[in-house]
Amino acid sequence: MHDQPNQERALAVVLDEDPDVVAILSLQLHLLGMESRCCRRTVTLLDEVAACRPQLVIMGLESEDPDGIALLRKLAEQQYPGWVLLLGGVERKISRIAERVGQTLGLQMLGSLDKPMRLAELRQRLGGLRFGREPAIVPESDPFFSAEELERALEQGELTLHYQPQFELVSGRLSGVEALVRWAHPEIGLIGPASFLPMLTPGQSRRLTGHVLQLALADAERWQRLDLALSMSVNVTADDLMAPDLLARTRHRIPGASPPVVLEITETAAMDDELLGSEIAARLHLAGLEVSVDDFGVGFSSLSRLQMLPISELKIDRSFVRHLQDDTQDAAIVEAVALLGRRLGIRVIAEGVEELDCLGLLARFGCTHVQGFGLSRPVPAEAIPGLARAQSPIRASIAASGASPGSTP
Ligand code: C2E
Ligand code: CA
Ligand code: CA
């Protein structure tokens, strides 16, 4: 592929104290089809952001005066609309806090990239966004969507679902799927949710959930008719859960609620005071819906508060799973969450399983389910029945590790 003219390439501004880090990142961004500008001081970065409006800021947290977290505040004050990717190099705990601070301030955070930076990881991080030369889902194009385009997507049913398979560790069988929304844009192609979910108004976001539920439940019914017992997980926000029509939409669809419909809500959203104080928890339970706490482990939630929701599943955030094999702190967290799940008698699913050699450890810790690119990427609905009948990718791997998986509630 040829290089594009400069003015059409997305721009990243990179801040790190270490000139080698900056040089490597510039090269990697170039390989991914992006322009970059480098800064060694936070004041310069703020000036660059104000002057050039880059689509992406990549920043180390170790800069001085202001420090990385203060810098995030300044970017938010400037109402920086692009993406922010943090650079590792500080304790992971600190980058996680910084990520949460950025999210709370309304910045579009892309997580943090470990040092030394690997091109594959950078590509993956940027893959769902609308820039870069070899994106996972979306080809290059203008960075932002207009309100009219989003409206058209909702009205004309351009939003479709892909399903990521979930496997039960003890049997290796395909036990369920997570519905993940994609925008089948007529000119651009498939666009990942990170590129458009943050741009939806609250009203559009509710309509999106309605549309997603409708598609997901129709597919679930179809699979049920084929005798495939697959749970269906759908991502919802706290706002969705409190909307009066959510229960009505789901109630009549799956008689007997078996296999279950699972509403995934992030740990942070699950702690919403209004949600916990509402009658919704009890009504979800009465309607036979299950709740999974997504991205569990990053929100530091209080268990007494979590118990106010009818939780059937804890979903361990993939940032803990990624380094499971070589980070003892992450392994300790995964083990503790698995133990907690076992005590509560609920499922514990590890997401983001990329390497199958961590399955043995996950099984030994007592995780009950797994999902991740290493087992299957999200696929269109048509591929699911075939996957359910295919040889499980898990059995051989668990057997080879000699682990005996925990029992499944
Ligand atoms: P999530 O709920 O944490 O969903 C999992 C995301 O991780 C998916 O990205 C999935 O493709 C990706 N993933 C799965 N396995 C792996 C792995 O092994 N490694 C890595 N690096 N990534 C993996 P996707 O589809 O881009 O979704 C991103 C987020 O968008 C979701 O995060 C969820 O918060 C949100 N989302 C997706 N669909 C919907 C929806 O229908 N409604 C709402 N409200 N949010 C949605
Ligand atoms: Ca999810
Ligand atoms: Ca998640």
Give the closest residue to 97 by CA, choosing from 308, 281, 311, 319: 319
Around Cβ 52, how many Cβ atoms within 10 Å? 12
Question: What residue's CA is closest to ligand 1, atom 3?
Answer: 295
- Looking at residue 231, its pLDDT comes to 95
| Mean local confidence (pLDDT), 128-156 | 61
- Looking at residue 408, its pLDDT comes to 47
Least confident of 13-22, 356-365, 366-375, 380-389: 13-22
- Looking at residue 367, its pLDDT comes to 97
Residue 255, pLDDT > 90, answer no
Give the closest residue to 87 by CA, choosing from 64, 109, 65: 109
Q: Is 153 in the pocket of ligand 1 (CB under 6 A)?
A: no
Residue 64, pLDDT > 80, answer no
- Looking at residue 142, its pLDDT comes to 37
Both tokens of 248, joined, read: 């009505």
Q: Residue 68 — pLDDT band, cuts 50, 70, 90?
A: confident
How crowded is the C-beta side of 335, counted as CA atoms within 13 Å? 12
- CA 404/CA 105 separation, integer angstroms: 44
Q: Residue 399 — pLDDT band, cuts 50, 70, 90?
A: low
- Looking at residue 140, its pLDDT comes to 38
- Kindly report the pTM of this predicted structure: 0.70
Both tokens of 398, joined, read: 């668990």
| Mean local confidence (pLDDT), 247-261 | 65
The percentage of the chain sitting over the pLDDT mark of 90, rounded to a whole number, equals: 38
- Looking at residue 4, its pLDDT comes to 39
Q: What angle do CA 150, 379, 388 make, to 5 degrees?
A: 145
Q: Is 294 in the pocket of ligand 1 (CB under 6 A)?
A: yes
- CA 67/CA 132 separation, integer angstroms: 29
SS3 of 228, please? coil
> Letter for the amino acid at 202?
P
* Residue environment code for 61-85, b if the CB has 16+ CB neighbours within 10 A, otherwise e: bebeeeebeebbebbbeeebebbbb
Q: Is 135 in the pocket of ligand 1 (CB under 6 A)?
A: no
316, 297 contact by CB (below 8 A): yes
Highest mean pLDDT among 87-101, 181-195, 250-264: 181-195
Ligand 3 mean position, distance from CA 295 (Å):
4
- Looking at residue 75, its pLDDT comes to 93
Q: Residue 133 — pLDDT band, cuts 50, 70, 90?
A: very low
Go through the domains of the chain in sequence order and give each one's CATH number: 6-139 (3.40.50.2300), 147-401 (3.20.20.450)
Give the strand pairing for 35-39 and 231-235: unpaired
Both tokens of 167, joined, read: 């496997």
Q: Is 180 in the pocket of ligand 1 (CB under 6 A)?
A: yes
Beta bridge partners of 369: 168, 349
Both tokens of 224, joined, read: 């049920």
Residue 319, pLDDT > 80, answer yes
- CA 164/CA 274 separation, integer angstroms: 31
Pocket test for ligand 1, best of 159, 180, 362 (most atoms within 8 A of CB): 180
User: Relative to the alpha carbon of 378, which ligand is closest?
Assistant: 1
188, 406 contact by CB (below 8 A): no
Please provide the average confidence, as pLDDT, over all residues in the chain.
Answer: 83
Residue 131 vs residues 4, 60, 136, 212: alpha-carbon distances, Å: 12, 21, 10, 26
Burial (CB < 10 A; 0-12, 13-18, 19+), residue 296, is: buried
- Looking at residue 402, its pLDDT comes to 60
